[in-house]
């Protein structure tokens, strides 16, 4: 089997838009339109490379909880977006993924903008369960949410 090393469509689009003014914002809006619930947090994909994605959530009234910190469900949404974009930009072309669950610990108050990170190793892309480590950081680099999102990885059906 020949390995295709060209970036897939998601990664190629991100890379192409980097030279545009507001390219990261345009890319983030495009992704959020594909999965409209993501737009509730107004995410910004700040970094995307194979097996790694960062997503920024700005602290603003619409994502606050009752104590005026970033609501953990908004953070979960950001972590899921970072994981999903990372997976789409990284998974080998012969495989597909679907989320099966999420396990997170809330480790600190989220009183600032939040940086959501999802990262795996290239060798992790194989059939079966994949636990994708996800972490959310505040502006000081303090971990506010940490855990994993479980994916089911399977063969992509052959086209008839």
User: 5 falls in which pLDDT band (50, 70, 90)?
Assistant: low
| Chain centroid offset of residue 79 CA | 5
- pLDDT at res. 35: 86
Do the strands 52-57 and 44-49 form a parallel or antiparallel pair, or are they unpaired?
antiparallel
> What is the three-state SS of the chain?
CCCCCCCCHHHHHHHHHCCCCCHHHHHHHHHHHHCHHHHHHCCEEEEEECCEEEEEECCCHHHECCCCCECHHHHHHHHHHHHHHHHHHHCCCCEEEEEEEEEEEECCCCCCCEEEEEECCHHHCCCEEEEEEEEEECCCCCEEEEEEEEEEEEECCCCC
CATH superfamily of 9-155: Hotdog Thioesterase (3.10.129.10)
State both tokens at 126: 């194989």
Please provide the average confidence, as pLDDT, over all residues in the chain: 93
Rg (CA), the chain: 16
pLDDT of 2 > 50? The answer is no
In the chain, what percentage of residues exceed pLDDT 70?
95
User: 7 falls in which pLDDT band (50, 70, 90)?
Assistant: low
In angstroms, the first-to-last Cα distance of the chain is: 20
State both tokens at 143: 């971990």
For 64-115, the pLDDT digits (tens) are: 999 999 999 999 999 999 999 999 999 999 999 999 999 999 999 999 999 9
For 135-148, the pLDDT digits (tens) are: 999 999 999 999 99
The sign one gets for the Cα dihedral 107, 57, 18, 133 is positive
User: 158 falls in which pLDDT band (50, 70, 90)?
Assistant: confident
- pLDDT at res. 114: 98
């Amino acid at each position: 089997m020949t390995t295709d090393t060209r970036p897939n469509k998601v990664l190629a689009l991100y890379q192409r838009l980097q030279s545009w003014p507001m390219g990261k914002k345009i890319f983030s809006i495009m992704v959020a339109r594909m999965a409209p619930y993501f737009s509730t947090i107004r995410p910004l994909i700040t970094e995307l490379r194979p097996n790694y994605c960062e997503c920024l959530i700005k602290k603003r009234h619409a994502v606050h909880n009752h104590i005026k910190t970033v609501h953990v469900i908004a953070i979960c949404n950001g972590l899921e977006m970072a994981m999903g974009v990372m997976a789409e930009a990284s998974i080998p072309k012969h495989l597909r993924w679907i989320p099966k669950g999420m396990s997170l610990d809330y480790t600190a108050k989220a009183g600032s903008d939040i940086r959501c990170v999802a990262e795996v190793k290239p060798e992790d892309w194989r059939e079966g369960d994949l636990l994708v480590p996800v972490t959310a950081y505040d502006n000081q680099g303090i971990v506010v949410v940490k855990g994993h999102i479980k994916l089911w990885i399977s063969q992509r059906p052959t086209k008839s």
